Each structure stands twice: as C-alpha cells, then as structure tokens.
Amino acid sequence: MTRKIIIDCDPGQDDAVALFLALASSEELDLLGITAVCGNVPLELTQRNARQMCDIAGRQDVPVYAGCEKPMLRPLRTAEMIHGETGINGIDVIDPETPLQSAHAVDFIIETLLDADDASIILVPTGPLTNIGTAIDREPGILPKIEQIVLMGGAMREGGNRTPSAEFNILVDPDAADNVFRCGRPIVQMGLDVTHQVLSTRDRVGRIAALGNPVADATAGMLSFFDRYDTKKYASKGAPLHDPCTIAWLIRPELFEGKDCNVSIETQSELTLGHTAVDFWHVTERPVNVHWVYSVDAGGFYDLLTERLARFGD
Ligand code: RIB
Ligand code: CA
C-alpha cells in the first residue's frame, strides 16, 4: 500500500537527493506535493531548485509550492557556504519547466490535510520547520490528519553544525520547531547523530556516477560539490547525506535503529538557541514525542539509494 507524503524542503543538494529517492519509489510513496521553504538559500531559489529536480526526474507533473520566505519570528539564516550560491552547486541551474503552483505552500498543506482521512498523510520536512509550524499554528484541525512527521533536524551527541548547540534546520526557526515538537503527532527524527553516519565517499559517489542516467549524473555532480565543506570541517571521507535518511526510513525502516524519548527545543537562550534537548535516558518527566534515530546501516542505505537512482535509466 503506498503511503501519501508531502516533502517540505529547502534544496540544497541533500534535499534534492531526497526528492529523487522519493520520486524513484512510487510503489511505496505517493508524493502529493513538494513545498519549498526558506533555508539553505532564500525561498526564490529553493522553490526553483525543487522544480528543477522534478524536470531532471521527468516529473513535471508533481505540484511544487512556494512557502514561507522567512522564519516565524526571527531573521533568516542561510547556508551558501555549504551549498553554494545557487543552493545546488555542482550542476548547472536551468529555468525549470515544472510550474510553480499559485497557492501558498502553507495553504496547500492545510487544505490537503483537512480534506484527508485521519492519520493518512506523512509530512517529511527536510529544511527549517517554518511551513509546518505555521500550518499547525494557523489550523490545529490538521493535526489528526497527520500520520507521522519524519524530519531531518537536531542533534544530540554530535553537537551542532551551525552553532556549538544547534543543527541548522532547527536553529533557523526554533519557534516553528517548538510548534512541531509540541504538536502531539508522532515524530521520527533524523538528527546529525545518524546522518553523520551516511557519508558520500568517493566510492559511493563513483557507483552513482557509473549509473549513467540524468538523475544519477545530477546526484553525482551535486555530491561532488557538497562534500568539500564537511570533509574539511570533520576530516571525514565524504559529506553526510542528511535529508535522504527521511525517505530511506519510509522505504526500509529496518536500516535504522532508534529509541522513543522526549525531545524539546530551546527557543529562549541566545547561547543555545535551537538546541534539541534529547532525553535519551528518560531523566525527566517530559512526555515521549519522538522516535530518535541514532544508528543506520550506511552500506545498506547507499545500496538502496543506488538501486533506486538506477531506475531513472530504465
Ligand atoms: O543540518 C543539515 C540540514 O540543513 C540539511 O537538511 C541541509 O539540507 C540543511 O537544510
Ligand atoms: Ca535540507
């Protein structure tokens, strides 16, 4: 049975690969729409980049919506130093044929959920949570319709990647993240503790490049650019492929290990703003709201990704 999903993203090379993985997995996933949010680069680029990925995948039919261009309460922080000035450096930017829908992404999310059966749609945010947090704030009636929220964001033992305490997606909009983590719907959280285990090494990128289809070529090109920052920073063998972990969970959850616990968001302290306080050892009375994922079979993840990207050559 296919599961209905909405991907909310800020492409971003890794968001782009998450979109490709979802588009290659139509037996498992029914992608109702893609909503773009401000984040790695400003909204006018993230929405364009999302549309370009649909073009490359030959899926101009997928509806793409532009959402919030700034966080709920705070100024926007972007990440061009990691993703490049286009957000998808590593490939040429084209003017996409996939149209931008006229509705605002938050309206699309609200209307789609209100029309749906209870617990029937999975939200997959891979950027700052502004669109999702705004939708919940504006229309709490959508909550019963959400089956689960499978998100990339946060960190525990890994520490922050944008400040010592905070991962980028949560830091950009901690107020929206607080709305989401308090909403009461089941959350599966892919934080840096697990995404830093899926590293795009030269061998893995080489296997993808050898597939020889436009989607694999774009993926290899983007990952070859994407790995230059984090490999220096972490002295690692490749850049962490954060966002596709969400889609891989939906297709092959057995590749991952996690634990149910409370995760709460720091929204006040300037020193630790955006910190995800993961109560891994249940030392507080805070209610369980998250399945915190902390381990992955990285080889199995790349086997899955490579096998699915190969489908674009059929
Ligand atoms: O911290 C990693 C996250 O921030 C990823 O989603 C990446 O695309 C950026 O949005
Ligand atoms: Ca992202």
SS3 39: coil
Q: Ligand 1 in contact with 179 (CB < 6 A)?
A: no
Q: Which pLDDT does position 309 carry in this prediction?
A: 98
Mutational test site, ligand 1, from 7, 82, 89, 126, max ligand atoms within 8 Å of CB: 126
Average pLDDT over residues 98-112: 98
Domain with residue 283: its CATH number is 3.90.245.10
Closest CA to 312 of 223, 212, 224: 212
pLDDT in tens, 142-194: 999 999 999 999 999 999 999 999 999 999 999 999 999 999 999 999 999 99
User: ∠ CA 214-219-224 to the nearest 5 degrees?
Assistant: 130
End-to-end CA distance of the chain: 23
Determine the atom of ligand 1 nearest the C-alpha atom of 13. Answer: 8
Q: Which pLDDT does position 233 carry in this prediction?
A: 75
Q: Which pLDDT does position 164 carry in this prediction?
A: 98
From the CA of 78, the nearest ligand is 1
Q: What percent of the chain has pLDDT over 90?
A: 94
pLDDT in tens, 197-252: 999 999 999 999 999 999 999 999 999 987 777 777 777 788 999 999 999 999 99
pLDDT band at residue 196 using 50, 70 and 90 as cut-offs: very high
The one-letter amino acid code at 115 reads: D
Q: Which pLDDT does position 1 carry in this prediction?
A: 83
Enclosing domain of residue 180: 3-313
Task: Flag whether pLDDT at 263 surpasses 80.
Answer: yes
Give one word for 16, left, alpha or beta, with left for phi > 0 and alpha for psi -120 to 50.
alpha
Mark whether 242 is an active-site residue.
Answer: yes
The answer to whether the pTM exceeds 0.85 is yes
Q: State the chain's mean pLDDT as an integer.
A: 97
Average pLDDT over residues 283-308: 98
Whether the CB-CB separation of 176 and 130 falls below 8 Å is answered with yes
Q: Which pLDDT does position 15 carry in this prediction?
A: 98
Choosing from 83, 196, 242, 275, the catalytic residue is: 242
Q: Which pLDDT does position 88 carry in this prediction?
A: 96
Number of domains in the chain: 1
* Residues with Cβ–ion distance below 5 A, ligand 2: 10, 12, 15, 126-127, 243
